[in-house]
Amino acid sequence: MKFSFSEEQTEFRNMLRRFLSDRSPTTEVRRVMETGSGYDPEVWRMMAEELGVTAIHISEAFGGAGFGISELAIAAEEAGRALLPSPFFGSTVMAATAIAEAGTDAQKQALLPGIANGGTIAALAAAEPGIGWNADAFAAAARPDNGSWRLTGRKSYVLDGMAASLVVAAARLPDGKLGLFSLPAESGGLARRPLQSMDPTRRLAQMDFDGAAAELLGGPEAGDPAWARTLDIAAVCLAGEMVGGAERLREDALEYVSMRMQFGRSIASFQVTKHKAADMLLEVELAKAAAYYAAAAADGVDEEVDQPLAALAALAKAAASDTYMQTAIHAVQMHGGIGFTHDNDTQLWFKRAKASEAFLGSAADHRERMLQHWNA
Amino acid sequence: MTDYREDEIRAGVRAWLTENWDPDRGLVEWRNMLIESGWGVPHWPKEWHGRGLPVGMAPVVEEEFDKLGAVGVARMGIRTLAAATILEHGTDLHKQRFLRGILTGEETWCQLFSEPGSGSDLAGAVTRADFQGGRWIINGQKVWNTGAHHADFGLLLARTDWDAVKHRGLSYFLLDMRQPGVEVHQLRQMNGHASFNQVFFTDAVVEPEYRIGGIGEGWKVATTTLMHERRGADGVRRYATGSDRPGRIHEEERAEVATVMAPYVWYPQRTGRADLLIERAKAAGRWDDPAVRQEIAKALTLARTAEWTARRAREAQQTGRPQGPEGSIGKLAASIVARACARAHTMIAGPDAMLTGEDDGTDGVVAEILVSTPAISIAGGTDEIQRNIISERILSMPKEVRHDTDRPFRDVPRNQVG
C-alpha cells in the first residue's frame, strides 16, 4: 500500500533497526569512518548472510529475495537513520539495479548472485566530473573491439567505487545511445582513486577508463531505459535514506532540548523551540509521505497513481533533499554551540545531509525533471 | 449486539425509495416523509427520526439515495453541529422543538462562539448571560458567525459566572435570532466577500428551558460542537452544488444550496489552487521560465505531500489507532501549500498580479487566490495554535504557562473590548 506498511514490512524495518542500533551505533560509525575501507566487513557479512539486505530486490531467479523497491527503500531508510557506513547503496541499490534493468538473463545469472550474497561489491560509474548524473552530457565513449567493447573517459562521484570488485559503467555508443557495461574493477585500462569526500561515512571514487575492455549489458537499445529506471529507483531509495536521517536528527534534537536547561527552565518550554520542533515534524512527515509514495509507485502497486515514476522519484528526491538539509540546520541550531563541535553527533548527519543534497542531482535539478515528466 | 445485515438494509431503503421517491414533490414535504420513515438519518435514534442503525451504515443508505438521485435531509452548514449538540446534550423539549426543522431545512442555524476578544482562546468569552426575572438576558458581541444574517437560531456560548474559573463559568444556550435584542452586521473581508457576521446582543432574551447542559457546563457542551466541527470540517466547508436534474424538488434544493454555500464561494481559492498552476503558466507564456518552473514544482510538491500525509493519517486511523492530533499537521501543511501556491501564481501572473476582476485575465480568480490565502492560516485555529498542539500533544513538549486557569475569571487579564 502507498499509505501504510504491511505487518511484514514493519517487522523487517524493526529487525533492521534493532540490528543497526546494536551493530552500528555512532561510536562504531565514528570508528569505521576512519578506516581505510570505510565499512566494517563483519557487519556487511551479517547484513548479507543473516538479514539478506544485499538480496532484497534482486529476482529469486538470480539469487535474490524477490522483494520490491518498497522493501529496498525501507532498508535505505534504516541505514540512513543509523548513518551506516557500508556499500549497500552503491552495490545493492545502484549497481545491482543497473544490471537487473540492462542485462540479459545470462549476464544477470553471471553477475547478480554474487551481489545478492554480498560476496561481490559492485559500483555504478556513471556520473562525470562537473556534469553529475545528466546522461545527455556524458562524454565517456565506448568503441567496438573484436566483438567486445573498450571504454574511454573519466567517471566521478562513484559511490563505493574503491570497495567494488565489479564495475558497471555508462558510456556513449558510437550511434549516440547510452550503453551500460560491466567489467572487473581490477582491469587493465581502469585506474581508480579515492576522492576526498566531505561526508566520511560515504566513500566516493574517481575512475579513469583508458581503453578498458568491457561487456555491454543487454543490447544496444537497453542502456537508455535501464539508466532512466536505475536513476529513478536510486532517487527513490536516496529519498528513503534521507528521510530516515532527517527523522533521526529531528528526534535527537528534540531529546536534547528536552534535557537542556537555561534561565531556570527547559529550553523545550520556549515557544520558539516548540514551534521549530513542530515545523520540523511537519517537514519530515511530508518528505516521508513522498518517499513512501514514490517507492510504492516504483513497485507499480496501484493503478490509482496518476504520475509516472520519473516525476514521483524526482519529487521525492527534491522534497527529501530540502527537508534533510533544513532539519540538519535546525538540529545544529537547537544544540547551540555544542552542535558545531566534532564530538557532537549532529555533525555526522549534517554532512550526510549536505552530501545527499548534491548526490544524484540537486533539488532544483529534480524539480525540473519532475515537471518534465509531470502528467498535467 | 444486533447483527445489521448490509444487504437487508440496502433492500429496505431501496424498497422504500422505489415506492415513495418522486422528484415533483416539494422539498419540505419529501423531507418530512424521510423523517417519518427514518431513512433520512438512519443512524439517529428511532424516537428521533432515525432507525438506530450504526453510524457505519449511514454511507450505505446514502449510496442507495445516490443511485436514484434522491434528495436527502438538509445537512449543509452549521445545522449539523446544532443537531449533533442537541442530540447529545439536549432535553426532550429541545429535540422536539428543533430536530425536525433542522432536517427539513426550514430552520437554519449559526454558531455564536468567537468574540472580538477571544478567537484562539474561545473559553475567554465575555458575552454575558444574566438570570433576571426568570429569563436569561444576553449582552455582548460575537464575531465570525457564518450564516448569522439568515439564521433562525444560534448556538450561543455566554458567561454566567464571573467568579468561577474560566472554563467553569460558561453556559450554552439555544438562542432565537429573530428578536429585537439581536442585531447582525455582515463583516467584509480583505478579499471583498462577506462570509461572516458580527452579532450584537442588547438585552436579548433566552427562556430558561432553552439553556442546554447545566449552568456552568457550557464549555463541555461546546466541546461536542467543536469536535463535530473538526470532524466534519470537510463536510461543512466543502463547496457543494445541487444536482442538475429536472423536477420541483431539485429546483428547491438548488436554491437552498445556493443560499447555504454563498459564504463559501471563495473557499477553493484560499487553498491556493495548485490545480491551476500549470495551465496558468502555459496560458501566460511562463511555462518555459526556469525560475517559475521551480516555484510551480515546489508548490505541487507541497500540495501532493500534504495530500499523501493526510491519507497516511487516515489509513493509520482505520487500522485502529485513535484519531489524534494529526489533524493539526494537515492544517499546518495547508497553510504552507497555500502560501507556496500564491507565490507561484504571483510569478506566473507577472505584472498582471496587480490587477483584478475582468482585467487580470482570469476573471479575477488569480487575484482572489492572492488575497484569500491569508485566511487559511487563521481560520479554524491559527498556525500558532496548531504548532502548540503538535509540540505539546505529539512531541510531548512542556505546555505553555497560563495565567487564566488558577483564579476567578474576573481576575484574568483580558482584552478591553468596545
Pairing mode, strands A122-125 and A166-172:
parallel
The residue ranges of chain A whose pLDDT is under 70 are 1-2, 302-303
Predicted confidence (pLDDT) at residue B234 exceeds the cutoff of 50: no
Computed over every residue of chain B, the mean pLDDT equals 92
Is A267 near chain B, with CB under 8 Å? no
B278 to A364: CB separation less than 8 angstroms, yes or no: no
Phi–psi pair at A29, nearest 5 degrees: -55, -45
B398 to A268: CB separation less than 8 angstroms, yes or no: yes
| Contact residues on chain B for A255, CB-CB shorter than 8 A | none
Is A242 near chain B, with CB under 8 Å? no
Is A292 near chain B, with CB under 8 Å? yes
Smallest Cα distance from B338 to chain A, Å = 15
pLDDT for B238-276, tens place per residue? 456 678 889 999 999 999 998 888 888 999 999 999 999
| Contact residues on chain A for B340, CB-CB shorter than 8 A | none
Is A305 near chain B, with CB under 8 Å? no
Share of chain B above pLDDT 70, in %: 94
pLDDT band at B3 (very low <50, low <70, confident <90, very high): low
| Contact residues on chain B for A274, CB-CB shorter than 8 A | 387-388, 391-392, 395, 397-398
pLDDT band at B380 (very low <50, low <70, confident <90, very high): confident
pLDDT band at B317 (very low <50, low <70, confident <90, very high): confident
Least confident of A354-358, B2-6, B345-349: B2-6
Which residue on chain B is closest to A316 by alpha carbon? B301
Predicted confidence (pLDDT) at residue B233 exceeds the cutoff of 70: no
Smallest Cα distance from A73 to chain B, Å = 17
Predicted confidence (pLDDT) at residue B297 exceeds the cutoff of 60: yes
| Contact residues on chain B for A277, CB-CB shorter than 8 A | 390-391, 395, 397
Q: Which residue has the cell 428551558?
A: B209
Is A334 near chain B, with CB under 8 Å? no
Smallest Cα distance from B312 to chain A, Å = 5
Is A270 near chain B, with CB under 8 Å? no
Question: What pLDDT is attached to residue B236?
Answer: 42
Question: What pLDDT is attached to residue B235?
Answer: 43
Least confident of B16-20, B211-215, B227-231, B409-413: B227-231
pLDDT band at B1 (very low <50, low <70, confident <90, very high): very low
Smallest Cα distance from B317 to chain A, Å = 11
B305 to A1: CB separation less than 8 angstroms, yes or no: no
Is A273 near chain B, with CB under 8 Å? yes
pLDDT for A12-39, tens place per residue? 999 999 999 999 999 999 999 999 999 9
**From the candidates B277, B292, B298, B301, which should be mutated to test the interface with A, based on the most A CB atoms within 10 A?**
B301
- Interface confidence, given as ipTM, is 0.95
B333 to A286: CB separation less than 8 angstroms, yes or no: yes
B398 to A269: CB separation less than 8 angstroms, yes or no: yes
